[in-house]
Amino acid sequence: MIRIAISLFSMMLLAGCMTVTGAPREENVVYNETSTEQAGSALSDSVSLGEVSEFPGMSVITLSFKTNPNLDDDEFKEFLRQSLDNAGLLGEGYVLDAKLVDSDNWGLGLDLGLGELTRNLAVEYTLKNPDNEVVYSEVIVGDGEITNYNFFWPYHLIEREAAEKGYKDNIRQLIEELKSYET
C-alpha cells in the first residue's frame, strides 16, 4: 500500500512538473494601442525587424531547466512585429534589432510566490537607418511587477503573469520612444 501511495504521489509530482507553465500569451504581450495621436511620427510606416536574439524560450520538461515562461526569438519577433504594426510603425527603411539582456527568471518554483514580486525584462534595441547607421540604441527594462497574497495561486501562473507584464511594458516603452523619435 505504501508503494502505491508513493507511486501515485510521484506520478502527480511528475505530472505537475510536465505542466509547469505556458509561454506568455499573445493577448497579454502585444501592444494594441492604435492611437493616431502621433501618426505623424518620423518613423511612421518605416520600421522593419532585423535580428532578434538571446530569447531562451521554454520547455515543459523540468529537466531542461527552461521552465520559466519565456518567449523564444521567433515568438518575440512576431509579437514585436504585431506591436509595431498596431502602432503604425511597421514598414520599410529602418531596421530594428532586439537582444534579450536579462529575463529575470525566478528559478524552479521553490518559492511560495507571495507578496510583491517582479519579473523585469531587459531588452537591448538597436535601430539602424537606411544607410545602416545606428540611430538608436537603448536597453529598455519592462516592469513586470505583480502582487499576490493568494496562497493557492500556483507559482508558475504567478510568474507567467509577471513575465507577460514585463514583456508588454518593455514593448510599450519601445513603441513610445519610437513614436517620439525625431530624425
Q: What is the pLDDT of residue 16?
A: 47
Q: What is the pLDDT of residue 70?
A: 83
The CATH number for 2-22+34-179, chosen from 1.10.10.10, 3.30.160.150, 3.40.50.620, 3.40.630.10, is: 3.30.160.150
Q: What is the pLDDT of residue 126?
A: 97
Please state, in angstroms and rounded to a whole number, the distance separating the CA atoms of residues 143 and 121.
7
Residue extents of the structural domains in the chain: 2-22+34-179
Which residues, 6 or more positions from 33, have their beta carbon under 8 angstroms from its beta carbon?
Answer: 86, 87, 172, 175
Cell of 130: 537606411
List 126's β-bridge partners, or say none.
97, 137
Which residues, 6 or more positions from 181, have their beta carbon under 8 angstroms from its beta carbon?
Answer: 41, 42, 43, 127, 136
Q: What is the pLDDT of residue 107?
A: 64
Task: Name residues of the chain where pLDDT drops below 70.
Answer: 5, 7-21, 34-40, 59-67, 107-112
Give, in order, the Cα–Cα distances in Å from 56 to each of 61, 74, 100, 107, 165. Answer: 14, 10, 9, 14, 18
Q: What is the pLDDT of residue 96?
A: 98
